[in-house]
């Protein structure tokens, strides 16, 4: 294979890439969001500067992807933390767990999503929308919400999930030190909200050393949403370089 051919590939193995070279379009992406209040000191321990925390809130989310170009259906769960950066409000993605390896690999390599493998699920059970996350054979999180109790304004629903998203991009060098270490920003584009609902909700987090969601404990459930969408994820842009100590 010629050098110029190698340069056309963005992932390995060269003859069987880990993920498709495409910008994915999400169709029928279904969210269960539970926003809860947590310990502010616990948040400060995990949110990197120069991001700032106002209210000590966390959004636990389970997302069931009805169809994704290049990846097919899969499910994802994780935690997002409301933050501000230079006066702009957004969310810092703290942890994400997926049951699809190509989506996990591309999210980490192409962008900066903090994705690892897990076993999330979203389903309806006896009048409740239930979102769960398992790590191996152990339960890590269980969220329940009254199924379609009250309609949620679609503009409000869109505003909830389309805020700018901040992530930490770290690429190690061969000496074990970071070769790239940046704070990056992205957001959702081409968003269509098909359905939006709210209702009562509960959330339980269970201690696990390899999936430490419970390190951000649930003190009070603030709100919940059940949203069905079509959307596209924009590319990322660096906004802060930790190795240079200056904005990119």
Give the catalytic positions in this structure.
115
Q: Give the Cβ contact number of residue 218 at 10 Å.
A: 20
Nearest partner of 33 among 80, 82, 90, 99, judged by Cα? 80
SS3 9: coil
Task: Report d(CA 15, CA 230) in Å as an integer.
Answer: 32
> What are the structure tokens assigned to 58, written together?
């966390």
Closest residue by Cα to residue 215 from 18, 3, 10, 45: 45
**Other CB atoms within 10 A of residue 213 CB:** 24
β-sheet bridge partners, residue 143: 131, 203
3-state secondary structure 85-131: ECCEEEEEEEEEEECCHHHHHHHHHCCCCCEEECEEEEEEECCEEEE
């Amino acid at each position: 294979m010629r050098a110029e051919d190698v340069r056309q590939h963005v992932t390995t193995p060269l003859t069987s890439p880990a993920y498709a070279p495409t910008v994915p379009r999400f169709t029928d992406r279904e969210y269960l969001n539970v926003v809860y209040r947590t310990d502010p000191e616990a948040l400060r321990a995990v949110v990197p500067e120069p991001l700032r925390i106002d209210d000590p809130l966390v959004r636990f989310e389970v997302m069931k992807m009805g169809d994704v170009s290049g990846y097919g259906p899969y499910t994802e769960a994780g935690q997002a933390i409301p933050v501000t950066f230079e006066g702009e409000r957004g969310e810092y993605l703290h942890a994400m767990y997926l049951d699809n390896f190509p989506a996990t690999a591309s999210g980490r390599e192409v962008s900066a999503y903090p994705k690892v493998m897990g076993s999330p699920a979203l389903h309806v059970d006896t009048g409740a929308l239930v979102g769960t996350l398992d790590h191996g054979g152990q339960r890590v999180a269980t969220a329940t919400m009254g199924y379609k109790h009250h309609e949620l304004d679609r503009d409000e629903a869109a505003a909830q999930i389309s805020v700018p998203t901040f992530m930490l991009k770290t690429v190690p060098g061969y000496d074990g030190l970071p070769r790239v270490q940046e704070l990056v920003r992205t957001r959702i584009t081409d968003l269509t909200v098909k359905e939006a609902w709210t209702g009562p909700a509960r959330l339980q987090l269970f201690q696990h050393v390899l999936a430490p969601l419970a390190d951000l404990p649930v003190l009070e459930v603030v709100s919940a949403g059940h949203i069905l969408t079509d959307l596209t994820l924009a590319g990322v842009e660096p906004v802060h370089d930790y190795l240079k100590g200056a904005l990119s």
